[in-house]
Structure 1
Amino acid sequence: MNKPDISGHAITYQDKPDAERRNFLKMSLIGIVTLLAGAFTMNQAFAESQIQLSDKWDKTFAQSSKVDHKKVTFKNRYGITLAADLYQPKNASGKQAAIVIGGPFGAVKEQSSGLYAQTMAERGFITLAFDPSYTGESGGEPRNVASPDINTEDFSAAVDFIGLQPNVDRERIGIIGICGWGGMALNATAVDKRIKAVATSTMYDMTRVMSKGYNDSVTLEQRTQRLEQLSQQRWKDAENGGPTYGPVANELKGGEAQFLVDYHDYYRTPRGYHPRAVNSNGSWTLTTPLSFMNMPILTYIKEISPRPILFIHGEKAHSRYFSETAYAAAAQPKELMIIPGANHTDLYDRVNVIPFDKLTAFFSTNLK
């Protein structure tokens, strides 16, 4: 540790008298500790300052009188603060089974995941619906970016939190992933052995669709071209000091495929619109696909076994093949339930279509 004196000569730690050397060391350590503590405090203050929870019921569904609800926050392994809604059956006693719920991709907890959470709480489970990192009321900068790794971690962080609740039995925790968070839920279950059962509804494998397109129609040439464009976009973002965002999600100009019309019907109308949802009122960063295109999240789906998987999908959903191929790749015990006549977004909020009886039976059997 050298420090120049006024004459420009270096004064070394070894050159100092014993008393001065001890004092020098003491002051250096104090300075380092103070610096680290200050940095920690600043980082904490910065992170928490981003979390502003709404104090009103602003869900896209009616509040149930059968459950208690409160907003909570917790951190994931990367230090991002997640916001969530905790639902508990009224007058329940003892330790209960719990279910963590996430999705759809680009939605918030006030939409589909919250509906699933409240409904399953009415049926006796303690449930938690969360906003993924960088979206909704959760923390993370920049906004509206997704990551197959971090968003998988969000599920495990939610399991951390709910397993610390005094009325939750840690050995009876399951998860539900809706749409793009169906793939994340499967990925989380493969790696996190605390999760005892997993169900997916209208599941998307976001890494597959971003890297290969719908029905795996993207050629190697097209993939290479896309990656070239995204790589060049990084230069632009670096020069601008921040990310560039794509067009506003789910706007219709006419002539779109039916499934895009269905998305608009959910996200952009009173049926499911929420101002904090990326798919209702925003857009993803242009470079969001990069990590998805190089990280197939269902590689280890067989390692979910011997824990059970329930796949639920609509008969007429454009995304049905995601559940069918994932089901084929998974090991037993597994079940694929196809809902007659249902499209992709019917399973977001149509309570007469979503098979809540089946979900209740599945988790009651496998979280006991």
Structure 2
Amino acid sequence: MNEATRHITTFKRRTALKSVVHGSALIGLALVFGGQAALAQTSSAMIEMGGLQLTQEWDKVFPKSGKVDHQKVTFKNRYGITLAADLYLPKNRDNQRLAAIVVGGPFGAVKEQSSGLYAQIMAERGFVTLAFDGSYTGESGGEPRNVASPDINTEDFMAAVDFIGLQSYVDRERIGVIGICGWGGMALNAVAADKRVKAVVASTMYDMTRVMSKGYNDSMTAEQRAQALEQLSRQRWDDAAAGTPAYQPDYNKLKGGEPQFLVDYADYYMTPRGYHPRAVNSGNAWTVTTPLSFMNMPILTYIKEISPRPILFIHGENAHSRYFAETAYAAAEQPKELVIVKGATHVDLYDQVDKIPFDKMTDFFGKYLK
């Protein structure tokens, strides 16, 4: 039995392939990345920080870099929720105060996936970076599990800026933000209000308030919106009576015949490429009523107020979500830039390092965080 097989067997025994955590199904799949099996979360592999039980071993979906130092950290947001994060520090810092970048997203992902990859690579390029789990998800605190809010998740970005700006090795006047997918919209909303942030990147962005309230390509009719709100409103009575929220069907479990972009999501979240058991999108689910707080709260209303600070939009040429970035770009004031990555889909910009324009981001932050 080789090492990978031994870890997979152990993982299956410990989780029985179907654990249930905080009312959300946790699929006990074994993960193998580059021949290294992800370790199961057990009591011996956990550390206590900030009142949270955090995984001690490296359990990211990408290899650990030898060019950076990594550590787990926790901090509280303005609502008192404790957030868990991964801090990446360039080696050979020579005690100098560095520019910092806070990274969040995608929507339904965890810091062990895309945001951590972005953070680690940008740390290799000389920035202090912080990838965090949003409230109620991943290793962060908050009950019930797997619920989202445009207000609270915007606050999560600001709380991350609070934390990073208090570190002695960070120049708090040189802080940037990267938001990926649905957290791209959250990042723009946060930066519009938080004047401490000097530059922001929105990569393969979604405006989650737009898609939930209007449907893809704004296709939801007034009647469909009213029906959705009626159902969500009545679900609240069911949840209140039960004392616990109902959950949506498990995400990214394909039945056949889905649009290509859903196939792309499953190829990332449900395969060794990107599967992580704590991610909502890896076979878990949001609460049924999660869309309620998104329906009446357009988060990009004040995007013009990011100016005169710069925005870099990055999106795939073939992404189904490209219209979100193009609309946001048109609404934003200068300085702004829209980079369309030739041949790339939405999910390509989660982890395909040959397509994600890290050189462009490095130049962007190097220019505006100086």
TM-score (norm 2): 0.86
SS of structure 2 residue aligned to 1:275 = coil
Q: In structure 1, give the amino acid aligned to 2:285.
A: S
Quote the Cα distance in structure 2 between the aligned partners of 1:318 and 1:240. Answer: 38
Say if 1:211 and 1:293, in contact at 8 Å, map to a contact too.
Answer: yes
Quote the Cα distance in structure 2 between the aligned partners of 1:184 and 1:252. Answer: 28
Which structure 1 segments of 5+ residues have no match? 1-46
Say if 2:253 and 2:283, in contact at 8 Å, map to a contact too.
Answer: no
Q: In structure 2, give the amino acid aligned to 1:325.
A: T
Query: What does residue 161 of structure 2 align with?
Result: 159
Query: What does residue 189 of structure 2 align with?
Result: 187
Instruction: Tell me whether 1:127 sits opposite 2:119 in the alignment.
Output: no
Query: What does residue 64 of structure 1 align with?
Result: 65
User: What is the aligned residue count?
Assistant: 322
Alignment of 1:312-331 (within 5 A): 312-331=314-333
SS of structure 2 residue aligned to 1:53 = strand
Q: CA deviation at 1:283?
A: 0.1
Q: CA deviation at 1:49?
A: 8.2
Name the CA shift for 1:293/1:50 in 2 (closer, same or farther; >3 Å). Answer: farther
Q: In structure 1, give the amino acid aligned to 2:68.
A: V
Name the CA shift for 1:142/1:197 in 2 (closer, same or farther; >3 Å). Answer: same
Instruction: Tell me whether 1:284 sits opposite 2:247 in the alignment.
Output: no
Query: What does residue 81 of structure 2 align with?
Result: 80
SS of structure 2 residue aligned to 1:364 = helix
Say if 1:73 and 1:82, in contact at 8 Å, map to a contact too.
Answer: yes
Cα deviation, 1:133-160, whole Å, max 9, x if unaligned, reads: 0000000000000000000000000000
Say if 1:48 and 1:81, in contact at 8 Å, map to a contact too.
Answer: no
> Would you tell me which structure has more helix in proportion to its own residues?
1
Cα deviation, 1:35-83, whole Å, max 9, x if unaligned, reads: xxxxxxxxxxxx9786110000000000000000000000000000000
Say if 1:202 and 1:314, in contact at 8 Å, map to a contact too.
Answer: yes
Q: In structure 2, give the amino acid aligned to 1:271.
A: R
TM-score (norm 1): 0.87
The counterpart of 2:145, out of the listed 116, 139, 143, is: 143
Cα deviation, 1:2-26, whole Å, max 9, x if unaligned, reads: xxxxxxxxxxxxxxxxxxxxxxxxx
Query: What does residue 21 of structure 1 align with?
Result: none
Alignment of 1:230-241 (within 5 A): 230-241=232-243
Instruction: Tell me whether 1:221 sits opposite 2:215 in the alignment.
Output: no
Quote the Cα distance in structure 1 between the aligned partners of 2:174 and 2:321. Answer: 30
SS of structure 1 residue aligned to 2:103 = strand
Higher Cα radius of gyration: 1
Q: In structure 1, give the amino acid aligned to 2:71.
A: K
Quote the Cα distance in structure 1 between the aligned partners of 2:92 and 2:342. Answer: 36
The counterpart of 2:343, out of the listed 331, 341, 357, is: 341
Query: What does residue 34 of structure 2 align with?
Result: none
> Would you tell me which structure has more strand in proportion to its own residues?
2
Quote the Cα distance in structure 2 between the aligned partners of 1:100 and 1:49. Answer: 20
Identity of aligned residues (%): 79
Q: In structure 2, give the amino acid aligned to 1:237.
A: D
Q: CA deviation at 1:281?
A: 3.3
Instruction: Tell me whether 1:242 sits opposite 2:244 in the alignment.
Output: yes
Runs of 4+ in structure 1 off by over 2 angstroms are 47-50
Q: In structure 2, give the amino acid aligned to 1:67.
A: V
SS of structure 1 residue aligned to 2:54 = coil
Which structure 2 segments of 5+ residues have no match? 1-47
Query: What does residue 266 of structure 2 align with?
Result: 264
RMSD: 1.0
